[in-house]
Amino acid sequence: MVYISTDDLLNQGGRVEKRRELRPSPWRPAILLVVLVILVVFGSRHGASSPPPAPSHGPLAALVNGIPVPLSAYQWQLTVATRAYAGPYAPPNSPTGKTIARLLRDNAVQEAIAETLIDYEAGHHHVTASVAEVSREVARLTSSAGGTTALRRQLVIAGMTTADLRRVARHTVLRDRVATVLGDPAWLDHMVGRAQITYYVGDGAVGPDAAPAILLGHPAPPFVAVDLAGRAVSLADLRGKAVVLDFWTTGCVDCQGDLPLLAALAKVHPRLAVVALDVQEDPGTVRRYIAAHRLKGFTAWLDVTGQAATNYTITSQPDSFFIDDRGTLRAYNFGPLADMPSLENLATYAERGVNDTQP
């Protein structure tokens, strides 16, 4: 169900556009949770007004430029995402547990929107997915899962049937064929980014929103991680503070210069939440690295499933994001941080709550 935020479907705007020059990361076995796991694409959506009543298309999850998104599509996506969720656990009534539930709901409506747009554009351009093409995509997903047995096990976990899998494969084929017709591999992201969307479910139900992921001035994609003590934590836990979020790994050579800068920034700016988010390494490895290099001051979290990195279109480390106290993305830096003055300058945009493209 990775229709929106895949490595090869990157958003337009600002320096993110440069990432098209990077080779997408290869399909990993875990990506099969393409059909099974959540992708948190958009951040919190809050508005002052209520959406208008749903038109008489039957029960709807959303309207996208007037195109109805069936409630049944949302319910299917939510069932799969909930059953297959593989991230950190938190009690349902805890703040983080509520965040996890919210992310699952929000992801489900975004995936339903993506599926609906794929069908709509495929019909508009007279694009179809043949039985052979769908079968080839199923075979690719099977291989990515580690074989038929592993695939069946993951389908059982997600409560999916082979018909559900073919549904996912069909939409993947259609998405790619529309991309060929339009000459735009990121057509779906671009369409969502420009669309006027009215939500009837998920966070967006409080009002219309057209915010794509990873664009300055729009909500930073929420995520759930774990701290070094194994507790579930989330970006939402930091609401009310300006955040510097740095993706890294212990084996990343370019990351070695970032962490001392982050530690120094945290010391000089104690009101900032400085988070070093390690991507898919075990806590012991991260703990030993931090101790060996005598790093203090910043907060170390673990992106256990790699989902946060996917949501932020990370294809290599280090990458840094600067988020204001309302959860809005204000600046970003792809690659190693240059020096302390540059880092402080980027952090200033988060502290002031303005985009780094503004004078």
Q: For residue 316, what pLDDT is reported?
A: 85
pLDDT digits (tens, 9 = 90+) for 150-172: 999 988 888 889 999 999 999 99
* Count of Cβ atoms closer than 10 Å to residue 250 Cβ: 16
The span from the CA of 197 to the CA of 63, in Å, is: 6
DSSP string, 290-311: HHHTT--SSEEEEESSSHHHHH
Identify whether residues 73 and 173 lie together within a single domain: yes
Identify whether residues 253 and 348 lie together within a single domain: yes
Is 331 a member of any domain? yes
Say which DSSP state 254 is in.
G
Q: Which amino acid is at 188?
A: L
Q: For residue 96, what pLDDT is reported?
A: 78
Lowest-pLDDT range of 135-139, 178-182, 233-237:
233-237
DSSP-derived pairing of the beta strands 243-248 and 273-279: parallel
Q: Which of 179, 206, 233 is the last residue of a domain?
A: 206
pTM for the full predicted model: 0.59
Average pLDDT over residues 305-329: 88
Identify whether residues 162 and 234 lie together within a single domain: no
Average pLDDT over residues 203-226: 66
Q: What percent of the chain has pLDDT over 70?
A: 80
Nearest C-alpha neighbor of 252 from the set 281, 229, 274: 281
Q: Which of 180, 206, 232 is the last residue of a domain?
A: 206
Q: For residue 192, what pLDDT is reported?
A: 80
> Which residue range forms the structural domain that includes residue 124?
14-206
Identify whether residues 189 and 277 lie together within a single domain: no
Q: Is the pLDDT of residue 208 over 70?
A: no
Q: Which helix (H) or strand (E) holds 278?
A: strand 273-279
Identify whether residues 315 and 195 lie together within a single domain: no
Identify whether residues 100 and 167 lie together within a single domain: yes
Is 217 a member of any domain? no
pLDDT digits (tens, 9 = 90+) for 112-136: 999 999 999 999 999 999 999 999 9
Is 214 a member of any domain? no
Is 216 a member of any domain? no
pLDDT digits (tens, 9 = 90+) for 7-62: 222 232 333 322 222 223 332 333 333 333 333 333 333 333 344 444 445 689 88
Q: Is the pLDDT of residue 95 over 50?
A: yes
How many domains in the chain? Answer: 2
Identify whether residues 72 and 188 lie together within a single domain: yes
Is 141 a member of any domain? yes
Tell me the two tokens of residue 253.
């050579």
The span from the CA of 211 to the CA of 220, in Å, is: 10
Residue 204: which pLDDT band, with cuts at 50, 70 and 90? low
Q: Which of 154, 171, 206 is the last residue of a domain?
A: 206
Is 60 a member of any domain? yes
Identify whether residues 30 and 151 lie together within a single domain: yes
pLDDT digits (tens, 9 = 90+) for 310-320: 888 888 899 99
Tell me the two tokens of residue 183.
């000459």
Higher-pLDDT residue of 84 and 119 is 119
Identify whether residues 148 and 283 lie together within a single domain: no
Q: For residue 7, what pLDDT is reported?
A: 27
Nearest C-alpha neighbor of 257 from the set 269, 268, 246: 246
Lowest-pLDDT range of 188-202, 257-271, 329-343:
188-202
Identify whether residues 56 and 115 lie together within a single domain: yes
* Count of Cβ atoms closer than 10 Å to residue 29 Cβ: 12
Top mean-pLDDT range of 64-73, 104-113, 184-193, 217-226: 64-73
Q: For residue 203, what pLDDT is reported?
A: 61
Is 211 a member of any domain? no
How confident is the prediction for the chain on average, in pLDDT? 79
Identify whether residues 182 and 243 lie together within a single domain: no
CATH of the domain at 312: 3.40.30.10
Average pLDDT over residues 215-237: 85
Q: For residue 205, what pLDDT is reported?
A: 59
CB-based burial label for 208 (10 Å; 0-12, 13-18, 19+): middle
DSSP-derived pairing of the beta strands 224-227 and 197-199: unpaired
Is 72 a member of any domain? yes
Identify whether residues 333 and 235 lie together within a single domain: yes
